[in-house]
Structure 1
Amino acid sequence: MFVGRTDELSTLHDALARSAAGEPQTVLLGGEAGVGKSRLIEEFTGSAACRGAVVALGGCVEVGADGLPFAPFSAALRALRRELPDAFAAAIAGHEEELARLVPELGEPPAARGTGRHDEESMARLFELTARLLERVAADHTVVMALEDLHWADASTRYLLAYLFRTLRTGRLLILASYRSDDIHRRHPLRPLLAELDRLRTVRRLELARFTRQEVSRQIAGILAAEPDPAQVDEIFERSDGNAFFVEELAVAVRERGCPSLRESLRDLLLVRVEALPEPAQRIVRIAAEGGSTVEHGLLAAVARLSEDDLIEALRDAVNANILIAAPTGDGYRFRHSLVREAVSDDLLPGERSRLNRRYAEALEADPALVPADQRVMRLASYWYHAHDPAKALPAVLDASVAARARHAYGEQLGLLERAMELWDAAPQEVRARLRLADYTATYAPCGCDPATTPLTYLDLMAEAAVAGRFCGERDRAMRIIKRALRLLEDEHDPLRAAWFWVQRSRLVQAKALGDGRRELDTAQELVRGLPPSEVHAEVLANVAKWAMAHEPGPDALSAAERAVEYARMVGAREIEMTARLTLGGLMVQAGDIEAGLAEMDEVNKRTVADGIAAVAARSYVNLPSALESVGRSREAVPLLEEGIAFTRRFGLLSSEAWVWGNLAESLFTLGRWEEAAEAASRSRYVGQSAKPRGFHARIRAEIALARGDLAEASGHLAEAHEHFGTHDIVPQYFLPLARIAIGIAAGEGRLLDARAELERVLEDGFPPGTQRYGWPLLLAAATAEADVSGLPAAGPGRPETLAGIRRAAKSLATNVPVWQAYEHWVHAELLRAEGRDRPEDWAELVAAFETLERPYDLARVRCRLAEALLAADEDQRNRATELLRLVHATAEHLRARPLADRAALLARRARLTLTSAPQQRSAAGPAESLGLTNREREVLRLVAHGRTNRQIAEELFISPKTASVHVSNILAKLGVSGRGEAAAMAHRLGLFPPETGDRPAAR
C-alpha cells in the first residue's frame, strides 16, 4: 500500500494541472537512498496516466567514465516514440540524423559517417533540437517525462537538463527528476546544477522526508497484512529512522526470521536476504551486481556459464526473494533497489570484481549483440577498465571516447580521454603503436602527415581532451591539460603543435576572465613566424586579427587579417578563411572603407549560410549588424538581427544567439523602441551562458534607466555590467559605453568631479582607431555635464582644462559617416553652451542633421536645445519654440524619458507656453491639429492609414524613404502609440481621413 506523501502528491498534481494548461513545469525530487522517491514517482505517474497524460520514463545508468551519455533522455524519448509515433515523427521531421545522437533508432548521426561538425555550439545545437522536439510533441498532448537517479547522471545529461529548464516555454510538459540528496557531497558534479536551478522560478524542488512513526506503522501493517505490535513498531522505527526501504527490509526480516536481524548493521541487513539464497542464486546476484544498473539475460548467461535450466532456476530464486526484478523494458534484470546492488558489489573481493568485469568484457567482445547498440562501446570500455587490463582497456576507452564525441557528449568524451591518458603508460608499446590518429582524434593533425597512417601520441590525446573540455564548459580541466602539454612540448621541437596549444590557452584565458589572451597569442605568433603556410599558421593569424579588432584595431590588425585569409586559402582551410574574411570586413569598416567592408561581411554571411558553416555564419549575424549600427544604419541592422535569431536558434548556437539579442537591443534603443530593446536585452541575459552577454544586457538596461531618470536603477545595472565584463580583458566596446553611463549618472546626481574623473581615466589612454561609435557619445555626455552646470558654483575650478581635454580628444575621432558628423557638431555645440557662446543657428543645423537620421531620442534632445536657445535669443521665435517643445515632450512621454520631458515642461513654464492646446482650440482646429501634427505629418499619417510603406509614402510625396521614416517616428510619438497599425487604427477611429477606393493592404 502507498503510505503518506499527501503534500508531495498534491504539489505534483498541481504541476500536472499547470502543464496541462500549456505552462511547462519542472519538479526536482530529492531524498536519501531508500526514502521512497521511486515509489512516489510510480504512484504519481500511474495517476497521471489515468488522467490522460503520456508518461515517458528514463533513468540514469551508472556506466563508463561518468554514466552512459544521455541515458535517461534516450529511454524517455523512445517511450514517447512508442506512445505517440505520429506526433513524434512530425516533431523530428528533417532532423532525424541529428537527433539519432539521442535515439539511435532514428538513423546514423552525421559524425558517425565522418561528416559531423564539432565545435562549442555542437552540443547546444542538439539541445535546441531536443527542446523543440519536446515542445512540439507536448503541443497537443500532456507529457510527463520522469527521469530517475540524477546523482548518476552523465555530464551531457546534466547540461541538457539545464538547457531545457532554461529554455522550455511552451507545451504541456512536466519534467520530474529525482536524485539522492545524501549522495550530493560538496564536490558532486550535480551540486552546481542544483544551485543554478534554485535560481529559476520555473523549477520547484521537493525534498522527501523520512516517515513518521504513524506512517511507519501503516507501512508495516501493509507488509504484514496485520496490525503490528506497537513495541515492534517502536523498534523498527528507531532502527530504520523512518527510511521506507529499511522499514520494509526490517519488517520482512521480522516476518521471516523474528527479531534477531534488528541487531545487525543495516549493510548486513541488506546482505542477509542475499546470503539466505541458494548458492547458485547468490552467484547470479554477485555477477549481476557488476553488470550495471540493468543486465541483459543473454549477457548474464554468457558470464554465468550455467546451463539454461540452472540459470533460470537461480534467477527464479533471486526474483522470488525480491532481490532481482525484471527490467521494465527489454530482456534483462535489475536489482529491486540500488542499495542492495551497491551492498553486494562492495562485498566482492577486489580480485573477484576484476575477474567478473573481464568475463563481461570477453562475453561482449564475443557477441556484441548481447547489449543495445548505443551502449555497446561504453559498457565494453567500462568492463575492461575495471578488469584492470590496460592493453585491452586503452583501445576500448578510446573507442568509447569517439562514440561520445559522435553524440556530442563532450563531457563523457573528456572523462574517457582522461582515462586513456591514465592508461597510456601502462599499456604495452605494441598496443599503442597500433593506434592511428585518424581513428581517435578530430582536433589536431601535425602538418604534412597522413592521419590514417600516423600513430597516435600522448600529445594527440591531450589536444583532443583540451578541446572536449572547452566544448563542454569544463574550462579548468582543459586548462590543466593544456599546461601539462606545453610543459611536455618544452623538450620537443614542434612549434606548430605548441602554437596550437597556445591558441587554445588564449581562448580559455579569455573565457575564464583571467586575462585578455594577448600574451598567449603573441607566443603562438612567434612560434609560427617564418614557417611555411599551414592551417595552424592561418588559425593563429585569424585569432590575432580577431583579438586586435576588439582590442587594438588598426593597420597591424588589418595586415594580420589579410595574411590569415591568404594562408587559409593556400592550405584549403575554408572555415578559417571565412572567419578571417569576416574580421577583415569589420576592420575595413572601422578604418573607413565602409561600403567595401560591409560588402565583404555580407558575402561571408551569405556563403557560410549557404555552405552550412554554422559557427562563422552565426558570428556574421553578430558582426555585420554591429557594423551597420556603427555607421548609423540601425534600421538595416534590425531585420538582419531578427534573421540571425532564427538562424542561431535553429542551430542551437546559444552564445551567438545571446550576442544577436544584445545587438538587437542596442539597435532598437537607437531607433527609440525602448520597450522592445529592454525585452531583447533580457533575452540576451536569459539565453547567454557566459558573462559578457549578461554584461551587455546590464549595459542596455542601464542606458534605458539613465535616459528615464532612474539613477539608482542605472547605477545597479552599471555595477552588474562591470562585474560581468570583469577587469582582466579591457575591450573598448565594453568599457567606453560603461564610462559614458558612469559620467551620465554622476552628472545626474550632481557629482561633477566624479564625472570629470571618469573622463580623465578614459582620456589618459585615448580612443583606439575605429572606436568613434563609442567615443563621440562619451565626449557628448562629458560636454553636456559641463554645459548643464554652466554659470553655477558647481562648475568650480578645472572647467577650462576639462573642456580643452574634450576638444583635443574630439580631434582623434573619425567623422566618416553622417551620424558621427552630427555628433561632432553636437559636442561642439555643447562645449559652446558650456562657455555661454552657443547660438540658435548651431542648434538649428544640428536639428536639420538629426532629422535625416533615425534617432528619435537624439532628435528630441537637440530640438529641446534649439527651443531653449530660441527662447533665450529672440522673443519672436515663441511659436517655433512652442512647436519644438511640443515635439520634444511628445517623444519624451512616448519613451518615458522623464528628465527630457521635465526639461521641456520647465522651459515651457518659464516662457509661459502651453505644451497642449486648450480644449476649445482643439475642438475648433479639428482632431488632426489637436494632436499637434504638422501639415506634412498629416499627409504622411493619411498614407499610413491607407497601408502605405515608407517607400511608397516617399514616392507619393516626392521625399526620401529616410525622411518618410522620420515623419512616421514623429507621428507615433505624438499619437502615443507603438506601431503603424495602432496609428492607422487611431486615424480611422477619429475619422481623420476618408477611405480611398481600392486601398492597398495595410503594410505589416
Structure 2
Amino acid sequence: MFSELSRGREAFDRGEWSDAYALLSAAEPLATPDVERLAQAAVLVGRDRESTDLWTRAYREWVARGDIARAVRAVFWLTFGLLNRGEQVLAGGWIDTARRLLADVDPEQVEHGLMSYLNGLRHTFSGDAAAGAAAFATASDIGEKAGDVELTTLARIGLGRCRIYQSQIAGGLALLDEAMVAVTAGGLSPVLVGDAYCTVIEGCWEVFELRRSQTWTEALSRWCDSQPTMVPYRGQCQVHRAEILRLRGQWDEAMAEAERACAWLTERRGEPAAGAAFYEKAELHRLRGEVSEAESAYREASRWGSEPQPGLARLRLTQGRLDVAVAAIRRALAETDEPVSRSRLLPACVDIMLAADDVAVAREACEELADIAGTFRSDMLTAVTASAEGAVTLADGDAQAALGPLRRAAQLWQDLDVPYERARVRVLLGRACGALGDSDAAEFERTAAQDVFTRLGATSDLAPLGDARGLTPREREVLRLLSTGETNKAIAAKLVLSERTIDRHVSNILAKLGVQSRAAATAYAYEHGLVG
C-alpha cells in the first residue's frame, strides 16, 4: 500500500493524472490530504461525480477534526465543480453550509474570499452581471490582501468577464490580460489553469478579440499537450483551435480539429461544448458547399444544446430557401437581447435581408451592428461592420459611397489574416467598380476573390461567380423581363415591387455583368443562355 501511495503522489506531482488516479484509488485507506489529491485527479480524468464524492468526504473529515479552513476549501472545490456543471441548487446549499462554518471567522480570511468568488459565479451564471461583479471584486480584494494568487487570479477573470457583460470592454480585457500573466507563470492548480484558459478565451471570442483568442488558444493547446491523460478542457481547446484555423483559411486542418472535438466531447455525454463542436463542423461544411453534411451537423449542434443560427439560416439562403432563411434569422434575433449574441446574428441578417430585397431592415441591422462595434472597439467587429455597411450601401445603389467602407473592411481583414472574409468583400468591391464603369478594377477584384475561394474550396461562393457573375434569383427574374423590353415601371408592377427597387436591381445587374446598358445586358443574357 505504501508503494502505491508513494507512487500515486509522485504521479500526481508530475501531472500524470490517469496514473495518479489509479494508484491513489488502490491505496485506500487514504489520509485526508491524499483524498484531496485523488479528488483532483478524478476530475482531471473526467470522473466528475467521483470527484464530488471525494471532496464531500474530505469536507466531513476536516469538520470532524475541527479544521474549518480546510473544510471550507473542500467545499470550494466541490462547489466549483457543481456550478460549472450547472447544478446551481446543490451548489447554493454548499455555499450556505460554508458560510455557516465561517460565521465566526475573520471576514478578511481567504476562505471568505473563496465563497465570494463562488457567489460571483452563481450570480453570473444566473445572468446578473452586476451582482457577479460585486462578488468577484470582494473576492479579488481579499485575495490580494492575503497574497493568495489563485483566488486573486480567479476573481479577476470573473470580474473581467462581468465588466465585458456590462459593456466595459477595455477594463474587462485588461483584467483578463492581468490574470493570464499569473496563469502562464505557473503555480496554480491544474483544474483552475484549465478553467482560466477556457474562460478567458470565451471572453475574448465574445468581443471579437481574434488576436487574444489565438494567443491563449495556442497556450491552452500546449498546456493540454503536456498532460495527455487529462480529459477536461481538451475538447474545448479543439473547438477553439478549429475556429481559429477556419478564420485563418486552413480549412482542412480546421475540419480535422472539429471532428476530433466532436468525437472527444460526445464520448463524455455531459460536455456542453459538444454543441459548439458540431456547429463549427457545420460551418465548415456549409462554406465548402457540402449541404447535406452541413445540415446534419447543424442538427447535431441543436441536439447537444447549441443554437444552430445564424449558420443554418445562411445555409437555407444558399439553398435558395429565402423565406425559411428570413424567418429563421428574424426568430433568432427576436429571442436575443444581449449585444454580444446579437452581434453574431446581425451580419447574417444583413445578407439575408438584402437577398430578400428588404434594404431598410438590412440597414437597421447594420446600424445596430455599428453601435455594438462602437462599444467593443475590436478590429474584427469593425471589419464585420464595415463589410455590412458597404454591402447595404451598394445594394442601395450608391456604388461610389460603398467603396469607402468596403476598402476599410478589406484592409482590416487582411491585417487580421482572414482570407475568406476579405475575398467576400472583394466580390462587393468588384461589383461597385463595375457599377462605376471601371471594368478592369471589377475584373481584378472578382478574379482575386475567385482565386481565394478556389484555394479554400469555398464552392458556395465560387458557384455564383461562375454563374452569370453572381446574379441572385430575383436579379435573374428582372433580367429576363428586362430582355423582353419591359420598362422598370412595368417590371415593378409585374413583380409587385417598388420602381426604386427595380432600379437598384438593374444597376446591380449591369455591375455584375460588367456592361454599361440595358441593351448590352440583354445581349449578354441571350449569349450566355440566361433567358429563353
Structure 2 counterpart of 1:860? 423
Pairwise CA distance, 1:761: 3.1
Distance 1:633 1:574, change over 3 A: closer
- How do residues 428-467 of structure 1 correspond to structure 2 at under 5 angstroms? 441-443=57-59, 452-453=65-66
Deviations 1:915-957 (A, max 9, x none): xxxxxxxxxxxxxxxxxxxxxxxxxxxxxxxxxxxxxxxxxxx
User: Counterpart of 2:351 in structure 1: which amino acid?
Assistant: T
Partner in structure 2 of residue 647 of structure 1? 223
From 618, 636, 645, the equivalent of 2:194 is 618
Residue 168 (structure 2) pairs with residue 605 (structure 1):
no
1: distance between equivalents of 2:380 and 2:198? 21
- After superposition, what is the alpha-carbon deviation per residue over 1:448-505, rounded to whole angstroms, capped at 9, x for unaligned? xx753479xxxx9xx99x999x8xxxxxxxxxxxxxxxxxxxxxxxxxxxxx6xx776
C-alpha spacing 1:668/1:566, structure 2 compared with 1 (3 Å): same
User: What is residue 308 of structure 1 aligned with on the other side?
Assistant: none
Shift in Å, 1:615: 0.9
Q: 2:353 matched to 1:786? A: yes
When you count helix as a share of all residues, which structure comes out higher? Answer: 2
Is the aligned partner of 1:758 residue 2:328?
Answer: yes
Provide the rounded CA distance (Å) in 1 between the counterparts of 2:128 and 2:360: 31
- Aligned residue number for residue 678 of structure 1: 255
Please, which of 122, 145, 149 is the counterpart of residue 41 of structure 2?
Answer: 122
Q: 1:613 to 1:811 in 2, by over 3 A?
A: same
Q: Look up the equivalent residue of 1:566 and give its one-letter code.
A: D
Q: Within 2, Cα distance between the matches of 1:768 and 1:522?
A: 29
CA contact 1:743–1:755 (8 Å) conserved in 2: yes
Counterpart in 1 of 2:436? 873
Instruction: Confirm or deny that 1:889 pairs with 2:450.
Output: yes
Taking the TM superposition and a 5 Å limit, the aligned residue runs for 1:248-259 are none
* Aligned partner of 1:543 among 118, 123, 129: 118
Partner of 2:386: 825
Structure 1 position 112, deviation (Å): 5.1
The TM-score, its normalising length taken from structure 2, stands at: 0.69
Are 2:371 and 1:811 equivalent residues in the alignment? yes
Quote the offset at 1:622 in angstroms: 2.0
Give the direction of change, closer, same or farther, for the CA distance of 1:780–1:444 in structure 2 (3 Å limit).
Answer: farther
In the TM superposition, residue 619 of structure 1 has moved relative to its aligned partner by 1.9
The Cα shift of 1:547 comes to: 5.4
1:546, 1:580 within 8 Å by CA — same for their partners in 2? Answer: no
Report the Cα distance in structure 2 between the residues aligned to 1:507 and 1:519, rounded to whole angstroms: 12
In 1, are the aligned partners of 2:326 and 2:352 still within 8 Å (CA)? no
Give the distance between the partners of 1:92 and 1:684, measured in 2 at CA. Answer: 26
Matches within 5 A, 1:303-314: none
SS of the equivalent of 2:58 reads: coil
User: Partners of 1:454 and 1:828 in 2: how far apart?
Assistant: 62
The match for 1:903 is: 464
Match of 1:841 among 403, 406, 409: 403
Q: Distance in 2 between matches of 1:899 and 1:750?
A: 12
Query: How much has 1:782 moved relative to structure 2?
Result: 1.0
Aligned pairs (5 A) from 1:911-926: none
| Partner amino acid, structure 2, of 1:695 | G
Tell me the matched-pair count.
447
Report the alpha carbon displacement of residue 823 of structure 1 after superposing the two structures with TM: 1.7
CA distance in structure 2 between the aligned counterparts of 1:713 and 1:564, rounded to whole angstroms? 47
User: 1:770-809, CA deviations, whole angstroms, 9 ceiling, x for partnerless residues?
Assistant: x1xx53342111111122343xxxx6xxx74565366446
Residue 18 of structure 2 contacts residue 41 of structure 2 at CA under 8 Å; is this kept in 1?
no
Residue 611 of structure 1: SS of its match in structure 2? coil
CA shift digits 1:616-653 (9 cap, x unpaired):
11123323344454555545644643442342354433
Work out which of the residue numbers 617, 637, 662 in structure 1 matches 2:239: 662
**What is the 5 A alignment of 1:175-186?**
none
Name the residue aligned to 2:525.
Answer: none
CA distance in 2, matches of 1:647, 1:812: 34
Q: After TM superposition, give the deviation of residue 864 of structure 1 in Å.
A: 0.8
1:763/1:809 contact within 8 Å kept: no
Inter-partner Cα distance in structure 2 for 1:548 and 1:126:
28
Q: Report the AA paired with residue 885 of structure 1.
A: R
Q: Is the 8 A contact 1:665 1:700 kept in 2?
A: yes
Q: Is the 8 Å Cα contact of residues 137 and 155 (structure 2) preserved in structure 1?
A: yes
Decide whether the 8 Å contact of 2:349 with 2:365 is kept in 1.
no
User: What aligned pairs does 1:726-745 form with structure 2 within 5 A after superposition?
Assistant: 735=307, 738-745=308-315
For 1:100 and 1:801, how far apart are their aligned partners in 2? Answer: 59
Amino acid at match of 1:781: A
Contact 2:354 2:392 survives alignment (8 Å)? yes
1:866 alignment partner AA: L
Contact 1:585 1:600 in 2 (8 A): no
Matches within 5 A, 1:79-478: 99=19, 102=22, 114=33, 117-118=36-37, 122-123=41-42, 125=44, 410=50, 441-443=57-59, 452-453=65-66
Q: Which amino acid aligns with 2:58?
A: A
Equivalence map 1:536-615=2 (5 Å): 537-546=112-121, 552=127, 554-569=129-144, 575-588=150-163, 591-593=168-170, 596-607=174-185, 610-615=186-191
Is 1:860–1:888's contact at 8 Å kept on the other side of the alignment?
yes
Task: Report SS of the residue matched to 1:593.
Answer: helix
The alpha-carbon distance between structure 1 residues 704 and 547, as it changes in their structure 2 partners (threshold 3 A), is farther
Q: Which amino acid aligns with 2:41?
A: S
Taking the aligned partners of 2:271 and 2:388, their CA distance within structure 1 comes to: 33
Higher fraction of strand: 1
Aligned 8 A contact 2:241 2:254 in 1: yes
Query: Over the residues paired in the alignment, what is the CA RMSD in angstroms?
Result: 4.6
Output the amino acid matched with 1:742.
L
Task: Give the one of 685, 691, 712 matched to 2:292.
Answer: 712
- For the 8 Å contact 2:283–2:311, the answer to whether it is kept is yes
Aligned equivalents of 2:451, 2:323: Cα separation in 1: 33
Query: Structure 2 CA distance, aligned partners of 1:119 and 1:545?
Result: 27
In structure 2, how many angstroms separate the alpha carbons of the residues matched to 1:101 and 1:410? Answer: 11
What is the CA–CA distance in structure 2 between the aligned matches of 1:809 and 1:872, rounded to whole Å? 26
Unaligned runs of 5+ in 2: 472-532
Q: CA deviation at 1:841?
A: 1.6
Q: 1:99 to 1:715 in 2, by over 3 A?
A: closer
Cα separation, 2, equivalents of 1:810 and 1:522? 44
Kindly provide the CA deviation profile for residues 112-166 of structure 1, in whole angstroms up to 9, marking residues without a partner as x: 5836754875126569xxxxxxxxxxxxxxxxxxxxxxxxxxxxxxx7xxxxxxx
Looking at structure 1, the residues matched to 395 and 39 of structure 2 have their Cα atoms a distance apart, in angstroms, of 51
Q: What letter is aligned with 1:662?
A: V
Measure how far apart 1:855 and its partner are. Answer: 1.0
CA distance in 1, matches of 2:363, 2:188: 52
Q: Please, what TM-score do these two structures have when normalized by structure 1?
A: 0.39
- Residue from 691, 702, 710 that aligns with 2:282: 702
1:442 alignment partner, SS class? helix
Deviates more, 1:549-558 or 1:890-899: 549-558
Sort the Cα spacing of 1:818 and 1:685 in 2 relative to 1 into closer, same or farther, 3 A.
Answer: same
Distance 2:417 2:393 in 1: 25
Contact 1:776–1:823 under 8 Å retained in 2: no
User: How far apart in 2 are the matches of 1:639 and 1:833?
Assistant: 36
1:691 partner SS: coil
